[in-house]
Amino acid sequence: MMKITRYFKYFMIIFVAIIFKGTLGTKEHYDLFERLFSNYTSHIRPVYHKDTSTNVSMKLFLSQVIHLDERMQTLKSNSWLTLIWIDEYLRWRPENYNGITNLKVPSSKIWMPDITLYNNAGGNYYNFMEDRVVIVTYEGVITWASPMIFTTYCKINVNAFPFDKQTCTLKFGPWQYDKSSVGIKGSDGDISVFDSDGQWDMVNISFKDEEEEYPDDPGKKFTDVEYEVVLRRRPLYYLFNLVTPCFLVSIVAMMTFFLPPESGEKISLCITVLLSMTVFLLMVAETMPPTSSVPIIGQYFAATMALISLSLAMSTCVLNIHHRSSDTHPVPGWMRKLVLCKLAHYIMPSCKLDGEESIVGKRLAKELQAWEIVDQNTVSPLMEQRHLTGNCQSSNHHQQTLKAQEDLLWKMKGEIRKIVTHYEGEAVARRVGSDWIKVARVLDRVFLFCYLIGSILTITGVVCQLY
């Protein structure tokens, strides 16, 4: 029982000591606050001599990119901002206040520099330093720190899109106080606190202190600090949703050269591919700002559209040549020599050139010569027999029979000549049509190689621009 009583006494002594110490601390903070702000005004710059300049040290940490609007060219970011300066009227001796070395007070109680975001794009210019809590040390050092969401103008360079880097600036400085009253200096930021949004990675953040003279207040120099934030885009999203489909569509466009002209689908396939490329180009145009510079992906899409349009013209030319016949004109000699004799030898070795006379024509010529021989061997004896029978004064019936046989032979000869001429004409027509078809096939392969060369040059040009 006595042990319990003794422990209880110890507990009460410790409890009272803690309460008493806390009461002393709270009272000392209250006394310190009353002493510091009894005759303090937040409207006057806190220096003892008017020639003393208040130097503000600034730190900026970019925590996250909320939205980078390429079309409106604005950056909305979540930033951590820290400002440090000296207030000569807020000083005390810690030993007089139970070792208190710092005091947290509302920002409305003290004087603060009118730091303004120069390139603000968030609508209204407002004092973002209001309604915050600041830390005051016994040496008069004021520390203002708070997370802020800034919307600033950012000049977008879309030349390398979607493999681009963007440099955005945040410019801070006093608006009313010139260099003789308030000066601001920056310090290096830290990229370790940056949290990527999945689209942008921060490469670097740097600052630059500047002094400028403005036309609205000539003769005075104002200080400012400009932070440069370098952001690199993650291109995987655009590669997967724009570049890869465009590449596959260009391959589909190449398939038109393998379609036979008889299918009737070469033109329709080219037009379908061209329309799909137009849709992709419109998607890129809706994302990019309306500037005179064309991004790399836009150049690739435009070059691919030009190649597809060229393939459409090539397919039209091939179809026009393929469907020519003897009704137009035969293949010109120079085209026959260039396309069928030279190009076909290297591009399509399987394409054989017909001779000047077709096999059917030779066969019909032999048949005609045979009929000429039959005509001579048959008609001559009949004529002699007719002459002999005429001298012997044969009967009229026999003479009429011989005359009928002679007329029949002449008619058969004429009909056979017509058949021979008809088949020879058809052979010539087939040969002329076959020549035009072979010319179309060779030109189709030539155009295919031209399309491949154009595609390779386009991809090479895009890659060279990136590196």
Report residue 420 as tokens: 């021979």
pLDDT for 25: 46
* Span of 39-53, 146-160, 419-433 with lowest mean pLDDT: 419-433
Lowest mean pLDDT among 3-7, 204-208, 210-214: 3-7
Residue 370: is its pLDDT beyond 80? no
What was the pLDDT predicted at 198?
85
Measuring CA to CA, which residue among 190, 238, 207, 196 is closest to residue 65? 196
Place of tokens 């003479």: 399
Which has more pLDDT, 399 or 252? 252
CA 30 to chain centre: 63
With cut-offs at 50, 70 and 90, classify the pLDDT of residue 24.
Answer: very low
Taking the C-alpha atoms of residue 88 and residue 430, their distance in angstroms, rounded to an integer, is 107
Per residue in 153-207, pLDDT (tens digit) is: 999 888 888 888 999 999 999 999 999 999 999 987 778 888 888 889 999 999 9
CA dihedral 451, 456, 461, 463 (to 10 degrees): 150
User: Binning pLDDT at 50, 70 and 90, where does residue 286 land?
Assistant: confident
- What's the order of all strands across the beta sheet hosting 74-86? 102-106, 133-137, 141-153, 74-86, 54-69, 182-186
pLDDT above 70: percentage of residues in the chain: 75
* SS3 of residue 405 by DSSP: helix
- Sign, Cα dihedral of 357, 359, 362, 364: negative
The whole-angstrom separation of Cα 86 and Cα 140 is 5
Distances (CA, A) of 100 to 30, 103, 110, 121, 132: 11, 8, 19, 42, 21
pTM: 0.68
Q: Transcribe 325-367 into DSSP letters.
A: -TTT-PPPHHHIIIIIIIIHHHH-TT-PPP-SS-HHHHHHHHH
446 pLDDT above the threshold of 70: yes
- The 10 Å CB-count burial string (b at 16+, else e) for 317-330 is ebbebbebebeeeb
For position 396, what pLDDT does the model report? 65
Q: Is a pLDDT exceeding 80 seen at residue 394?
A: no
